[in-house]
Amino acid sequence: MPSVWLFVVFPKQDAQPYRRLPFMDKSHIDGLATLEARFWNQMDRGSDCWHWMMCRTDDGYGRSYCQYGGRKKTLGAHRLAYVLANGSLQDGAPLLHSCGNPICCNPAHLRVGTPKENADDREAMGRTFRGAKHHFHLHPELTQPGEPHNTAKLREHQVRAIRAEHAAGSSYAAISRHYHMHETTIADLVKRKTWKNVN
């Protein structure tokens, strides 16, 4: 009696889960030296977590840009930090924060997770952000009422950065979009009606 052998090959779980995704390689970043010099100064590295000081996405991550292969590429600041520190990263591969602080760009706190870890992470974040365990509930010292994107630690840095941007020719409108702050707040700050103590 003839026998039929059926071989079913199960793919090895998480062997190379992201290999079909486009790959971001540090060596294809245009103006790399300039970008690196600027990028690492756009965060506050005064504590273990390196807090991104520029634009944020609605879900709490830093937003950054670079010129990549001749085109402007927008990506999470933590992702760019990872690429600069480690050389490459697959687009779409989940990058997990060991510190649980989405705004942190310290490469030592970042690692590529598996798809399952990413799903768990998102679910946990969803729960976290809805509840009293929100990052800013746990760390009230990092928030200022009415100025959601300023943290107590970052404010002087930001004030200097905003004044420098204005001195370099950026309009109040452009700066206000960049920092998600009111134009009048930016104008007052630049004209030193506020933050007089910061040079």
CB closer to Zn ion out of 39 and 172? 39
Residue list 93-132, contact with Zn ion (CB under 5 A): 99, 101, 104, 106, 109
Instruction: Please name the amino acid found at residue 2.
Output: P
3-class DSSP state of 195: coil
**By rule CB under 5 A, what string of x and - marks binding of each residue 53-92 to Zn ion?**
----------------------------------------
Q: Which residues contact 7 (CB under 8 A, 6 or more apart)?
A: none
Beta carbon of residue 101, minimum distance to Zn ion (angstroms, whole number):
5
Beta carbon of residue 83, minimum distance to Zn ion (angstroms, whole number):
17
Question: What number of H helices and E strands is found in the chain?
Answer: 7, 8
Beta carbon of residue 81, minimum distance to Zn ion (angstroms, whole number):
10
CB closer to Zn ion out of 49 and 81? 49
Closest to 103 in 3D by CA, of 133, 74, 136: 136
Beta carbon of residue 88, minimum distance to Zn ion (angstroms, whole number):
21
CB closer to Zn ion out of 99 and 142? 99
CB closer to Zn ion out of 35 and 49? 49
Residue list 135-174, contact with Zn ion (CB under 5 A): none
Residue bearing tokens 């930016």: 186
Instruction: Please name the amino acid found at residue 103.
Output: I
Distance CA 23, CA 20 (A): 9
Instruction: Please name the amino acid found at residue 39.
Output: F
**By rule CB under 5 A, what string of x and - marks binding of each residue 30-49 to Zn ion?**
-------------------x
Q: Radius of gyration (Cα) for the chain, nearest Å?
A: 21
**In this structure, are residues 165 and 56 in contact, taking their beta carbons and an 8 Å threshold?**
no
Number of residues that bind Zn ion (CB under 5 A): 6
Interface contacts to Zn ion, rule CB under 5 A = 49, 99, 101, 104, 106, 109
